[in-house]
């Protein structure tokens, strides 16, 4: 055990040293030099049950890491059982697996100085492992048990439910959480994208429902297994055939649910005992990989990418109206969200919102200066290389592109597309992708904040003059 800890310490020191060296001034790309993208291609093959395996060997350190991506998620869970996929994903690791109880599994991984974890999001599940190369056989077997043979122990499910219930009860204490939840509900309505988990949903979840969700959602069809580090492709093939070869597909459909809901623009106010007001401004946005996705990336940087960005420079630095402010176009599987969030003093709510509109109108009216765009292009280019700073990052990047249905050559041509952007491209994003008349504004604050909103609404010169202003309440979720 002592020898293993020493090895781990040396590994961590080596990783730190490499990471520090990579960030020194001399190693950063020079502004005048074009960054080249020429990644090492992983070896890959497809198993008969539908799993694609990708392997990138790297013998620099005696470590192996991997991840299994599963094509399913909470977007496809039954309407009658919200939260079941999230519960199932977390309990696959936390509730024991194979012949080991949860406590035995924890102890075994601790002895091996290894890790297995995972869970499900909206579109896919991800389960990963890491270990010393000498322990790969044992850790891979434990990893396979977590994926295929979770025990879902009732005791640990009860602990999970208690933690989630406490988190739900505490939502009302955080204005950011309140504003985010209400904004999501107002924009997506009762669709799969607007669901909010409440206490009764958690209490309804049973071990039997979670077992059934595992049978349905943990599916090899379209799954992707990536492995990198000190291991050969031949060894990976041996392990995958042994532990995942008999896994059979369940035929789960993967058509994304529609967003058949139209938000109602206006201002929604939630009264709360907070010393400052929290504001979200949003509208439904674009699908992932819309034709102008590269211009959108640059637009996001200009809007809110750094201290010199439009929102930060104007609203915080020049006017001192916000403690924090940020915004972006976030693409979605069907429809994403354009959002802006800020915090300000209660008496400044109206003025802060007016200034957000002013920034957006300026971006729609005039293209950015050439230098502003050039700085953003250089920033995107210089940060691009850090997506591939290790073998593990490189292969995971390739996996995510596949899981989210990006073109396989997306990264190969991305920098050239960024370099070819013009100021007019950025202005067209502002004009085409932002409609100020469709803004849904959520304000969480005290009565002073409400009065500031009223004053702005009643001002004939205001951009939101005459807009609906409605008081709503929050109790775990929006109450209209």
| pLDDT tens per residue, range 222-277 | 999 999 999 999 999 999 999 999 999 887 778 999 999 999 999 999 999 998 99
Could you tell me if residue 252 is inside a domain?
Answer: no
- Tell me if 387 sits within 8 A of 393, measured CB to CB: yes
Among 284, 266, 325, which residue's Cα sits nearest to residue 472?
Answer: 266
Could you tell me if residue 309 is inside a domain?
Answer: yes
Q: Same domain, yes or no, for 109 and 209?
A: yes
Q: Same domain, yes or no, for 236 and 317?
A: no
At residue 304, the pLDDT reads: 96
Q: Is the pLDDT of residue 20 over 90?
A: no
Residue 172: strand, helix, or coil: helix
| pLDDT level of residue 41 (50, 70, 90 thresholds) | confident
Give the CA distances from residue 335 to residues 27, 73, 180, 331, in Å, rounded to whole numbers and listed in that order: 39, 17, 17, 7
Q: Same domain, yes or no, for 468 and 340?
A: yes
Q: Is the pLDDT of residue 5 over 80?
A: no
Count Cβ atoms below 10 Å from residue 245 Cβ, excluding itself: 13
- Mean pLDDT over the full length of the chain: 91
Could you tell me if residue 147 is inside a domain?
Answer: yes
CATH number for the domain spanning 206: value is 3.30.830.10
Q: Is the pLDDT of residue 433 over 80?
A: yes
**pLDDT tens by residue, 42-81:** 999 999 999 999 999 999 999 999 999 999 999 999 999 9
| Domain finish residue from 214, 244, 274 | 244
Could you tell me if residue 3 is inside a domain?
Answer: no
Distance CA 232, CA 104 (A): 30
% residues pLDDT > 70 (the chain): 92
Q: Same domain, yes or no, for 403 and 271?
A: yes
Q: Is the pLDDT of residue 98 over 50?
A: yes
H helices of 42-135, in order, are 84-94, 102-111
Among 211, 212, 222, which residue's Cα sits nearest to residue 247?
Answer: 222
Q: Same domain, yes or no, for 170 and 138?
A: yes
Q: Is the pLDDT of residue 121 over 60?
A: yes
Judging by DSSP bridges, how do beta strands 63-70 and 125-132 pair with one another?
antiparallel
Q: Same domain, yes or no, for 355 and 470?
A: yes
The mean per-residue pLDDT over the stretch 91-105 comes to 98
Could you tell me if residue 161 is inside a domain?
Answer: yes
At residue 36, the pLDDT reads: 60
Strand partners, 299: none
Q: Same domain, yes or no, for 100 and 154?
A: yes
Give the domain extent around 299.
Answer: 266-479
Among 106, 84, 110, which residue's Cα sits nearest to residue 97?
Answer: 106
Domain count, the chain: 2
The mean per-residue pLDDT over the stretch 368-377 comes to 96
| pLDDT level of residue 13 (50, 70, 90 thresholds) | very low
The mean per-residue pLDDT over the stretch 303-313 comes to 94
Q: Is the pLDDT of residue 181 over 90?
A: yes
Question: Which of 5-9, 244-248, 307-311 has the weakest average pLDDT?
Answer: 5-9
- CA angle in degrees (0–180, nearest 5) for 292-293-295: 70
Could you tell me if residue 11 is inside a domain?
Answer: no
**pLDDT tens by residue, 434-454:** 999 999 999 999 999 999 999
At residue 22, the pLDDT reads: 35
| pLDDT level of residue 463 (50, 70, 90 thresholds) | confident
């Amino acid at each position: 055990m002592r020898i293993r800890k020493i090895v781990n310490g040396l590994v961590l020191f080596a990783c730190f040293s490499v990471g520090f060296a990579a960030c020194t001034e001399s190693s950063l790309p020079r502004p005048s030099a074009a960054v080249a993208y020429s990644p090492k291609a992983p070896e890959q093959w497809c198993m008969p049950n539908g799993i694609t395996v990708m392997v990138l060997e790297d013998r620099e350190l005696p470590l192996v890491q991997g991840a299994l991506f599963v094509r399913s998620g909470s977007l496809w869970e039954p309407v009658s059982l919200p939260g079941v996929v999230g519960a199932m994903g977390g309990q696959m690791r936390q509730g024991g697996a194979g012949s080991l109880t949860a406590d035995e599994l924890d102890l075994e991984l601790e002895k091996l100085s290894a890790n297995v974890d995972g869970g499900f999001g909206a579109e896919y599940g991800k389960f990963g492992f890491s270990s010393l190369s000498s322990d790969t056989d044992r850790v891979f077997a434990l990893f396979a048990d977590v994926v295929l043979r979770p025990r879902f122990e009732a005791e640990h499910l009860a602990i999970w439910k208690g933690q989630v219930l406490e988190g739900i009860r505490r939502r009302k204490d955080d204005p950011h959480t309140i504003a985010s939840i209400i904004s999501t509900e107002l924009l997506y309505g009762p669709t799969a994208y607007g669901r909010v988990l409440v206490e009764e949903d958690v209490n309804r979840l049973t071990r039997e429902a979670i077992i059934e969700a595992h049978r349905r959602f943990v599916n090899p069809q379209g799954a992707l297994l990536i492995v990198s580090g000190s291991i050969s492709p031949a060894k990976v093939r041996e392990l995958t055939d042994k532990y995942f070869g008999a896994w059979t597909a369940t035929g789960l459909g993967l058509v994304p649910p529609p967003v058949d809901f139209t938000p109602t623009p206006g201002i929604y106010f939630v009264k709360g005992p907070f010393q400052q007001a929290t504001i979200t401004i949003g509208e439904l946005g674009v699908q992932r990989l819309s034709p102008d996705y590269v211009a959108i990336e640059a637009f996001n940087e200009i809007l809110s990418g750094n201290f010199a960005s439009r929102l930060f420079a104007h609203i915080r630095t020049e006017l001192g109206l916000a403690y924090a402010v940020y915004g972006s176009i976030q693409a979605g599987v069907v429809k994403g969200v354009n959002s802006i969030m800020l915090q300000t003093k209660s008496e400044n709510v109206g003025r802060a919102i007016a200034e957000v509109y002013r920034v957006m109108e300026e971006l729609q009216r005039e293209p950015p200066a050439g230098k502003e765009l050039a700085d953003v292009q250089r920033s995107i280019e210089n940060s691009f290389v850090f997506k591939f700073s290790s073998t593990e990052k490189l292969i995971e990047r390739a996996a995510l592109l596949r899981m989210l249905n990006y073109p396989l050559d997306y990264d190969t041509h991305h920098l050239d597309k960024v370099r070819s952007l013009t100021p007019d491209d950025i202005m067209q994003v502002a004009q085409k992708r932002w409609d100020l008349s469709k803004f849904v504004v959520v304000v969480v604050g005290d009565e002073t904040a409400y009065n500031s909103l009223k004053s702005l609404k009643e001002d004939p010169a205001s951009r939101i003059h005459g807009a609906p202003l409605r008081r709503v309440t929050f109790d775990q979720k929006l109450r209209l």
